Structures are given as structure tokens and as C-alpha cells.
Amino acid sequence: MEPSRDSLDARWCAVTGGRGFMGRHLVMALLRSGGWRVRITDIGADAALEPVENEGLLGAALRDGRAVYVCADVCKLGQLTEAFEGVDTVFHTAAPDPANNNFPLHYKVNVEGTKNVVEACNTCKVKKLIYTSSSGVVFDGVHGLFSVDESTPYPDKFADAYTETKAEAEKLVMNANDTDELLTCCIRPGGIFGPGGRLVPILVSWRGFIVIMGDGKNCDDFVYVDNVVHGHLCAEKTLSTREGARRSGGKAYFITNMEPMNLWDFFYMVLEDLGYKSRFKLRIPLYLLMPIIFLVEWSYKKILSRFGMHNPSAVTSTTIKYATVNRTFTCNNAAEQLGYKPIVSLKEGVKMTTEFYKQFMA
């Protein structure tokens, strides 16, 4: 189908990290809306489309000019300035893998990279900057969170390098609001899942066998990826009005499915949808688990340091804390001030996610 004249005359936006998990879904939503032309930026030399992407909307948009791929590293200001030229809105989603607890890497990308994004926005007279933060910016790795809102302060000590540097980047974005006519907003998603995400591959690797850490009673706030995208679009729309800009400019908002549930029950729901019916469980109390993990962490770091390596093990004392305490958030402010409400229910999101992965399990 030929693109409409309106779509080719639409405003330009840029998506940093546009080939990442959430970034891909955001790019597709922007193209489907018909109101945007999208500059997809990422560190790869090219877009590296998968066959299904090349044959679908994204491939067509790249061919007819509704989308353009630009190789741009957020750590390189000159590349960003070139990528943002003529852009109305920047959606800044680029970030390292949260599982890699490498502070220098996260600081370079999340903090220094975000400084560059803000500076490039100011240089290019970008009107709006929407930043993808994390609900983990208020988690200290020790104390549980139950239905907390945005008045919850940053902790004195963070759970990991990812959330610490995300919080620093969030401050940069919020402080940049209303400078050089730039309006900003931060989105704090809960645990994101969906097609292309990490959750299902991890659960599949367990083959239906789950080790419940602690008492197994803790709740979490998951969010389907399309709802995270919707939160970003709600923020952009809100900043586009004078009243909305006064109300929401320079603020951060939690975005979840607004359906908090037991963490382990959520895992079981996903596994059952994938066809694992046994629900084989093993429960290990924390007083037994933590000493083992501390020993494993210490041994792992000692071994890696001998070879000049610093990657963490998959299970650490920090990841255990994430899996054993309540972490739920209220989206009342997002609902009232951004007009956000989930467009995909948790059950529907799980169904769409598992259907996507079943094609690779046949």
C-alpha cells in the first residue's frame, strides 16, 4: 500500500535504542499511528531487519521514507546532533542490558549518554524529550515497596548499577525541562514483558521447574510492552498542550499493567501458557539461600578477576532481593495527569507473548 500524503508530511521523531526490545515496539506504534516519520537510531551499522520486519510495515516504511535508520551512539554527541536535526520529539530508550552489573558501562551510556541526548536536543531545538527510566530507581535492594507513588524518594543506596545510573539520568532529564524550550518527561515501567523480551526465554530454560526463593508471597508489577509504549505516547501527547506541559513537564511517572500479582503465580501463568503443566516447585528459605549466593558471587568474581573479566553471574544477592520482596507501584498520577490506562490486559499480554514464542518451540 502506498503511503498517504499525510504520513509523508508528518512530524519527525527520533527513537534512541530503536532496535532494542522496547524501542522496536515503540517504532512500530509510531509508524502505525500515521502521525510520525521516525528516525530510528542505534549503534548497529545498519537496521539488520529480520525477514518478518523487512516484509512488513517497518521494511515498507524504510523503503518509502516514513522511517530512516541512523547509526548513532548516544555516547557520541556529534552523531546525536546529526540524528536529531529537524526532529520534533525524541524518545530516549537506549540503555545497556540491566543484567550486566557493570557500573562504568551503565554510567557511560545512561548518564553521560543522556547528557549528550539533552545537549543534542537543545542544539537541534527539539521540542519534547521522553525518557525511558525504570521503576527500580526507588528500590534499595533491601526494603519492599507496596503500592508506592512518585513521591517515594530515591534510596541512599541503590540495588545495582543499572538503577543507580537510571536515577541519575532521570534527574538530568527532569532538570532539563523548560530549558531552550525543551519539555521533558520520564516513564518508569515495571517489569516489561512481551514478544522479543528476555522473560520467556529465561522461563523456558527452566523447563517448568521453579525454585521459589523465600516465602513465595511477594507481589510484583509487570507491564506488557505495548502498555509501556502507550505510556510514552500519552506523555508526548500531554506535553503537546500548554496545560499538559505545565502539569507534567519535568516529572516522572510509574507505568504498569495496574494488575499487581504474586511473582511466582505470574511465572506459573506464563509457563502454563507455554505448555508446561507440571508446576514442579522447590522452595528454598532465604536463610539457606543467601549464604550460598554470597559464596558463589565471591568465588565467581575471584575467578573472573584473574582473567580481567567483570561480568556478573546470573543469580546474585541483588537478583534474589528483586525476587523475594514486594515491588508494586500505583499509576494514579499517570492515569490522572497523562490519561494513561493499559490497552492490553495482563492475561492478554501473556497470551500474545507466549504465542510469539511457541513458533520457535515447535
What is the rounded distance in angstroms from the CA atom of residue 267 to the CA atom of residue 208? Answer: 9
Residue tagged 573479566 (cell numbers): 309
What is the rounded distance in angstroms from the CA atom of residue 69 to the CA atom of residue 72? Answer: 9
Could you read off the pLDDT of 53-83 as tens digits, one per residue? 999 999 999 999 999 999 999 999 999 999 9
Could you read off the pLDDT of 280-302 as tens digits, one per residue? 566 666 656 555 555 555 544 54
Number of structural domains the chain divides into: 1
Q: Is residue 51 part of a domain?
A: yes
Q: Say if residues 182 and 176 touch (Cβ distance below 8 Å).
A: yes
**Which residue range forms the structural domain that includes residue 30?**
5-196+222-260
CA torsion, points 221, 223, 228, 229, in degrees to nearest 10?
180
pLDDT score of 309: 41
pLDDT score of 206: 75
Check which CATH number belongs to the domain holding 132 and give it: 3.40.50.720
Residues with catalytic annotation?
A: 166
Q: Is residue 210 part of a domain?
A: no
Q: Is residue 175 part of a domain?
A: yes
Flag whether pLDDT at 311 surpasses 50: no
Could you read off the pLDDT of 159-197 as tens digits, one per residue? 999 999 999 999 999 999 999 999 999 999 999 999 999
Could you read off the pLDDT of 241-251 as tens digits, one per residue? 999 999 999 99
Could you read off the pLDDT of 80-136 as tens digits, one per residue? 999 999 999 999 999 999 888 889 999 999 999 999 999 999 999 999 999 999 999
Sheet with 11-16, edge to edge strand ranges:
67-71, 36-42, 11-16, 89-92, 128-132, 183-189, 251-255
Q: What is the pTM of this model?
A: 0.91
pLDDT score of 324: 86
pLDDT band at 361 (very low <50, low <70, confident <90, very high): confident
What is the rounded distance in angstroms from the CA atom of residue 177 to the CA atom of residue 283? Answer: 47
Judged by DSSP in three states, 278 sits in coil
pLDDT band at 205 (very low <50, low <70, confident <90, very high): confident
Closest CA to 110 of 177, 173, 179, 187: 173
Closest CA to 171 of 223, 111, 113, 123: 111
Q: Is residue 184 part of a domain?
A: yes
Q: Is residue 285 part of a domain?
A: no
pLDDT score of 287: 56
Q: Is residue 345 part of a domain?
A: no
Flag whether pLDDT at 230 surpasses 70: yes
Q: Is residue 239 part of a domain?
A: yes
Q: Is residue 296 part of a domain?
A: no
pLDDT score of 213: 77
